[in-house]
Structure 1
Amino acid sequence: MVKEAYGEPEPPTLREMTEARARMFEESPPRRARRGWRLKAGFGLVAAGAAAAVAIAATGSGTPASPSAPADLGKRAVLAAAERAEAQPTGDFWFYHGTSGRSLIVRSETGDYAIVAAPEEGFMWIGAEPDAGPGTYNRNLPSRPLTAQDEALWKKAGSPSEFKVWDGERLFTYDQGVTRWRSWDPSRRGDGAWIGGRTFEEAERLPTDAGELADLLASGNLYFHLLSPEEKERFKKEHGIPERRSMTPLDKLTVVAALLQTKPMPPAFRAGLMRALAAQPWVKAIDGVTDSLGREGVALAVGLKTTHVTAAQGAPAEERGDYDSRKEIVFDERTGEMLAVQTVLTRPGGPYRDRDPGFVLRFSLILDSGWTDTKPKPPEELPFRSR
């Protein structure tokens, strides 16, 4: 019912994404790293402390370049971002810090307002040396009004501590509670390990040609081809050689987003993935995009099926109707860094009838990511200001 009500499957949480990648790769701890690598420092670096001070914005996306234009400016911008995804010095540890959530509408007699519902924060790191070990953490964040305007309407409604909203399946109540950081032992599942169970040396041999990567992406077997030789042989013994399978544009975008978001990788391979995705049919390049933190960038996007919210789904009358949306990967054009994966409104309707195109329906933001010589640890402060 969630798929019918919101046009695509419910996005995985940060922890679910990590566990899913671990199951796919069945990664082993890396051997000693070769220091000759110069890897990109981050997928969406934010100035220190900036994320904690910025309130999440209401809208995000720009407009695709005209199909009749002599040059696809959006695609040129994405390819320029890929070119700028250059190497930076590695360190002793690689880390990732991100947050995810969705936007829902609270119905109120004093004025409807949007909230960030069920937000989650994730943090993971891995050492370059095998004995350094990885760490994986997550915590639940408070649901809260989305923008200053929404906050004003929330206060006008009496500043309720709970939010009762239609979430696509049912009326559900979200609160403003926050949990402590939770950690789990990643060693048994390979969480946070290098891509495909590879060493640094093996990772340098990953394909970088956009055409080859595009073919692998279209085959549905990109993950298999990223496994180290040992892991690939083990996979074949246990499961056989994977068959080619059909991949939708959304499948392709989701696969690339998952790889880029929380995996350290050679910059040439990363740029090749961006170019391969940009070359796929029905994947649109969009210039002038902003993410939920207001960071500007360019995006690769796929349009989603029209969402129908109906009485048969149990939706209240005020939630029913149709709307359109698209899913985007947002990059910083200046650096090639990945900023976000988000679903944005393209045609208002249903529960979002009073929202503008570009309204962010769901988001997974990269707050900070890269290399450091100091063992990383998750921050104590919340990644947004308190309401």
Structure 2
Amino acid sequence: MNDDQIFKDRARVLDEDLAGRASTAGADALLAEIVSLERVPARRRLLPSPGRALLSLAAAAAAVTVIAPAILSDGTISVAPQPSTTVSATAEPTARQILLAAAVAVEKAPASGDYWRIATVNQWTRPDPTRSYVLEGSGSHETWLARRPDLKYWRIRQKLGVKPATPQDEAAWRAAGAPTSWRYPKDMKTENLFSVPSKPLEAAAGERTAERLYWDGPGGQLAGEDVTWKQMRTIPSEPDKLRSYLEERIGRLELPSGMDAKEARAYILLRDCVDLISGLPASPEVRSSAYRILASLPSIRAEGEMTDPLGRRGQALTYQEEIEPGLFSKVQLVIDPSTGLLLAEVRTNTTKLANGRQAELRLSTSFQAIGWTDDRPDLPAHRD
């Protein structure tokens, strides 16, 4: 039996044994156990008897602070701000350890429902049109996808407003006359760090609106290709088979000339796995295998705990994204290993303003809910 299966079985035993505790205690203790095991050389790892293993893991579960997600009436997991998760006072978990614990936890997610729902808050920063200060804006986004033709697809969006990003930016904004609307020239230089808005940005929040989507649309995309609902059910759930499946799809892509094919395909594999855990209505087993593939990739590093843009604590994993030749952006994945949920994805870079100041640019997606639900969307009056 391999280590992954041992870890999986131990977490399940813990959840059954620790009656009355948060249902995520097994995964929290599992992460602590993985950290402990991987600090011991492989030749010295001795598996204790089942009774002793259970007691040691139960003690570990009692020693950690558990993130207890809110479980909605339909079983959908909604991630709310919780106290800090402390795994070990002496050693931070590695990226592999965090991802393996998340792989075990996500298998417990609901596997069916009327709708696949993703609710996010998207935040960004970019220079104003004169590059004198930095603006910060945000918006909410909900997608409701259904496998049944008698249910409607919906996309619900709202712009939440724009403001100066920092007190320093606010001072420069006031010096510029405190505008409440910003129109960008189409040819504005951006170094590919941000997209030029096609419409003026407004300080005030916008109206919440709903857009009806076509039912016969795909369930999502992998490697640049649509995945139908029928194909979604055939995605392999074993890690090796899932990796082969993804690599076969990636191999059909036409890569830009001059790009290192091996590096490009490795990056697309990473992104496909992130898409599987954060967006596509794949089975819990498929999402678990996506985490296991990520755990095998050398490009991901652990950075310890961090607060996501919504104030929630999670484990931060990072990698570099090349947005143009020689220009890299730092990408952080904030994960709650006790639920297997991706809390947020944050991209950061820096740019130079007109006065020579180096300013941070950030683009983030914070996930408020991911998963199946039998609820119905709360539709606003304004519908397209």
TM-score with structure 1 length normalisation?
0.56
SS in 2 for 1:97: strand
1:257-272 residue pairs with structure 2 within 5 A?
257-272=274-289
Whole-Å separation in 2 of the counterparts to 1:266 and 1:100: 25
Q: Is 360-369 or 269-278 further displaced after alignment?
A: 360-369
1:219/1:91 CA distance change after superposition, 3 Å? closer
Please say if residues 113 and 153 of structure 1, whose CA atoms lie closer than 8 Å, have aligned partners that are also in contact: yes
RMSD: 4.2
Please say if residues 40 and 267 of structure 1, whose CA atoms lie closer than 8 Å, have aligned partners that are also in contact: no
Instruction: Give CA-to-partner distance per residue, 1:222-259, whole Å, 9 cap, x none.
Output: 999xxxxxxxxxxxxxxxxxxxx754443233323333
Match of 1:250 among 267, 273, 278: 267
Please say if residues 40 and 87 of structure 1, whose CA atoms lie closer than 8 Å, have aligned partners that are also in contact: no
Residue 344 (structure 2) pairs with residue 327 (structure 1) = no
SS in 1 for 2:106: coil
Whole-Å separation in 1 of the counterparts to 2:220 and 2:175: 44
Please say if residues 78 and 299 of structure 1, whose CA atoms lie closer than 8 Å, have aligned partners that are also in contact: no
Shift of residue 296 of structure 1? 2.2
Aligned residues with identical type, % of pairs: 23
The residue number in structure 1 matching 2:143 is 124
Shift of residue 160 of structure 1? 2.4
Instruction: Give CA-to-partner distance per residue, 1:70-129, whole Å, 9 cap, x none.
Output: 9962321222222221324444333111233421134999xx653224x44322213454
The residue number in structure 2 matching 1:366 is 367
Please say if residues 342 and 360 of structure 1, whose CA atoms lie closer than 8 Å, have aligned partners that are also in contact: no
Q: Is 322-331 or 79-88 further displaced after alignment?
A: 322-331
1:81-96 residue pairs with structure 2 within 5 A?
81-89=102-110, 90-96=112-118
The residue number in structure 2 matching 1:78 is 99
Q: Write the letter of the residue equivalent to 1:339.
A: L
Q: Write the letter of the residue equivalent to 2:201.
A: Y
Whole-Å separation in 1 of the counterparts to 2:337 and 2:214: 33
1:131/1:272 CA distance change after superposition, 3 Å? same
Please say if residues 118 and 369 of structure 2, whose CA atoms lie closer than 8 Å, have aligned partners that are also in contact: yes
1:68-217 residue pairs with structure 2 within 5 A?
73-89=94-110, 90-106=112-128, 113-117=133-137, 119-127=138-146, 129-146=148-165, 154=173, 159-163=178-182, 168=190, 174-177=201-204, 178-190=206-218, 196-198=227-229, 206-217=235-246
1:93/1:324 CA distance change after superposition, 3 Å? closer
1:220-239 residue pairs with structure 2 within 5 A?
220-221=249-250
Whole-Å separation in 2 of the counterparts to 1:270 and 1:174: 37
Please say if residues 249 and 281 of structure 1, whose CA atoms lie closer than 8 Å, have aligned partners that are also in contact: no
Shift of residue 130 of structure 1? 3.9
Please say if residues 332 and 339 of structure 1, whose CA atoms lie closer than 8 Å, have aligned partners that are also in contact: yes
The residue number in structure 1 matching 2:56 is none
1:257/1:187 CA distance change after superposition, 3 Å? same
Shift of residue 40 of structure 1? 8.1
SS in 1 for 2:150: helix
Whole-Å separation in 2 of the counterparts to 1:86 and 1:379: 33
Whole-Å separation in 2 of the counterparts to 1:134 and 1:157: 44
Shift of residue 183 of structure 1? 0.6
How many pairs are equivalent?
A: 275
Q: Write the letter of the residue equivalent to 1:297.
A: G
Shift of residue 344 of structure 1? 2.1
Shift of residue 306 of structure 1? 8.3
Residue 76 (structure 2) pairs with residue 41 (structure 1) = yes
Q: Write the letter of the residue equivalent to 1:293.
A: L
- Mind listing any 5+ residue stretches in structure 1 that lack a counterpart? 1-38, 51-69, 225-244, 309-321, 381-387
Q: Write the letter of the residue equivalent to 2:243.
A: A
Shift of residue 191 of structure 1? 5.8
1:277/1:220 CA distance change after superposition, 3 Å? farther
1:75/1:211 CA distance change after superposition, 3 Å? same
SS in 2 for 1:274: helix
Match of 2:342 among 312, 329, 338: 338
- Mind listing any 5+ residue stretches in structure 2 that lack a counterpart? 1-73, 82-90, 254-260
Q: Write the letter of the residue equivalent to 2:363.
A: R
Shift of residue 282 of structure 1? 2.4
SS in 1 for 2:348: strand
Whole-Å separation in 1 of the counterparts to 2:171 and 2:235: 51
1:309-328 residue pairs with structure 2 within 5 A?
324-328=328-332
Whole-Å separation in 2 of the counterparts to 1:299 and 1:278: 14
Whole-Å separation in 1 of the counterparts to 2:271 and 2:249: 12
Please say if residues 141 and 158 of structure 2, whose CA atoms lie closer than 8 Å, have aligned partners that are also in contact: yes
Whole-Å separation in 2 of the counterparts to 1:190 and 1:248: 23
TM-score with structure 2 length normalisation?
0.57
Q: Write the letter of the residue equivalent to 1:291.
A: D
Instruction: Give CA-to-partner distance per residue, 1:132-181, whole Å, 9 cap, x none.
Output: 23223334442223357755765676542124776617987632252441
Instruction: Give CA-to-partner distance per residue, 1:161-210, whole Å, 9 cap, x none.
Output: 124776617987632252441413322534679x94346xx866532232
1:196/1:164 CA distance change after superposition, 3 Å? closer
Shift of residue 337 of structure 1? 0.6
